[in-house]
Amino acid sequence: MAEQQDDSQEKTEEPSEQKKRRAQEEGRTIHSKDLLSLAALAAAFGALAVQGQAMVSSLTVLLRQALLLQTSPEGEVALLNQIGNAGIQTLGLVLTVAVPVAVAVLLFQFGVGGFNFSWQALEPKFKRLNPLSGLARLFGKQALYELAKTMAKSALVLAVIYWVFSDQWTRLGGLIHTSLPGVTSVVTSEIWRLVRALLGVALLFALIDLTYQWWQHRQSMMMTKQEARDEHRQSEGSPELRARIRQMQREITMARSSGGVRDATVVLVNPTHFLIALSYQAGEDQPPTVCAKAQGKPALKLQEEARALGIPVHRQPDLTRAIFFTCDVGHSIREELFQAVAVILAHVLNGAEGEPPTAAPPTEFLFDETGRRLRSGA
């Protein structure tokens, strides 16, 4: 018994659409900090590689203006204009890097988990103030994973730095005898070599972290068999709710059919299980139309309503079932049934008393009460 209970609590079921939707509302999506860091670094260094020379020139001009900044003959207004222009240029330099970084981070997050803003994620969660819960998180699997990742990342970064510069110390030491442009060229080349190596490290850890975050998110979304049954029951509704819905649907059908009965010329019954209301305008070149049909208790209620409205109600079991199973409300009856229906309409339109003669449909239009066709002569 205990084993069966443990098996029932294992998360072996795929997450339902309802649980996926609830997770999005709560802001629980795949989120990799290392991937976003990679996107930010790549965008920043990419912007520097493309606009670096122009940024250095602009920064040089800006520093020169700052060093020469002094009160001009025009007074303080000119001084404020110079400061304002310097601020605008500084903002332009910052945006040159910041905009590509922001765009890259947004695109990477959209590609991984999509854009998902959730107010529930911003709500304070007081249970996190519990010291015991804090200790559990501190020594949990996520904390251990982050610690191991940080240590591995630090060790690998130091190894990469050593690898990049291990064979360049002699060359860098000789720069003291090199002109300034030469020093700038060598240093710039080594810096970009280090940047490419560090981006490779960032890419490696981003792939590792993304894989782990995807696996962890999937594990958290999996459901036990009991959870799957509960959600299915909630989505389908309780038996009482389903019964109420069916009752409302029958009431709506009855309301529509009731309006159709009021327009009927004649009502045919089975006499208790089926009802067909036919509408026909004498003198018009239009075949009779089914304006209402019902089965079971709704048929009895419509039959009572038709009698109350003074609409002729006649017992024609075979013909009633033939029309019921072959014609829909709002449509004309089948051509094969014209002759049988004409017998009934002639009786009604001529004002004859009593029941009309039995109008038998063609043998291929004979049905039992379940809608199965009867064999000829059965």
The C-alpha atoms of residue 316 and residue 276 are separated, in whole angstroms, by 10
Question: What's residue 267's pLDDT?
Answer: 92
Q: Which residues, at least 6 apart from 8, have a Cβ–Cβ distance to it below 8 Å?
A: 224, 225, 226
Q: Which residues, at least 6 apart from 346, have a Cβ–Cβ distance to it below 8 Å?
A: 356
Question: What's residue 5's pLDDT?
Answer: 44
User: How remote is the C-alpha of 371 from its chain's centroid?
Assistant: 41
User: Residue 207's CB: how many other CB atoms inside 10 A?
Assistant: 14
Which H or E run includes 99?
helix 76-112
Q: Where are the alpha helices (DSSP H) in 166-238?
A: 169-173, 180-221, 225-236
Query: What percent of the chain is helix, strand and coil (3-state, nearest 5)?
Result: 70, 10, 25
The answer to whether 334 and 276 have CB atoms below 8 angstroms apart is no
**All domains of the chain in start order, with CATH:** 25-118+125-233 (no CATH), 250-365 (3.40.1690.10)
Residue type, position 373, single letter: R
Question: What's residue 235's pLDDT?
Answer: 64
Question: What's residue 1's pLDDT?
Answer: 42
Question: What's residue 332's pLDDT?
Answer: 93
pTM here is 0.43
Dihedral angle at the C-alpha atoms of 119, 121, 124, 125, nearest 10 degrees? 140
Which H or E run includes 160?
helix 141-165
How far is residue 217 from each of residues 39, 112, 116, 213, 231, measured CA to CA in Å? 21, 12, 15, 6, 19
Strands 266-269 and 313-315: what pairing?
parallel
- DSSP 8-state code for residue 292: E
pLDDT tens string, the chain, 378 residues long: the values are 444 444 446 777 777 777 777 777 776 777 788 888 888 888 888 887 777 677 767 777 766 766 665 555 555 666 667 667 767 777 777 788 888 888 888 887 777 766 565 555 555 655 555 666 656 566 677 778 888 888 988 898 898 888 877 766 666 666 666 666 666 666 777 778 888 888 888 888 888 888 888 888 888 888 888 877 777 666 665 566 667 777 666 655 655 555 568 889 999 998 768 999 999 988 777 899 999 988 888 888 888 889 999 999 999 999 999 999 999 888 999 999 999 999 999 999 988 888 899 899 999 999 988 888 886 544
Q: Is 66 helix (H, G, I), strand (E, B) or coil?
A: helix
The two structure tokens encoding residue 155: 């060790």
Straight-line distance from the first to the last Cα atom of the chain, in angstroms, rounded to the nearest whole number: 57
Query: In the block, which residue shows the tokens 């007081």?
Result: 126
Dihedral angle at the C-alpha atoms of 328, 332, 333, 336, nearest 10 degrees? -130
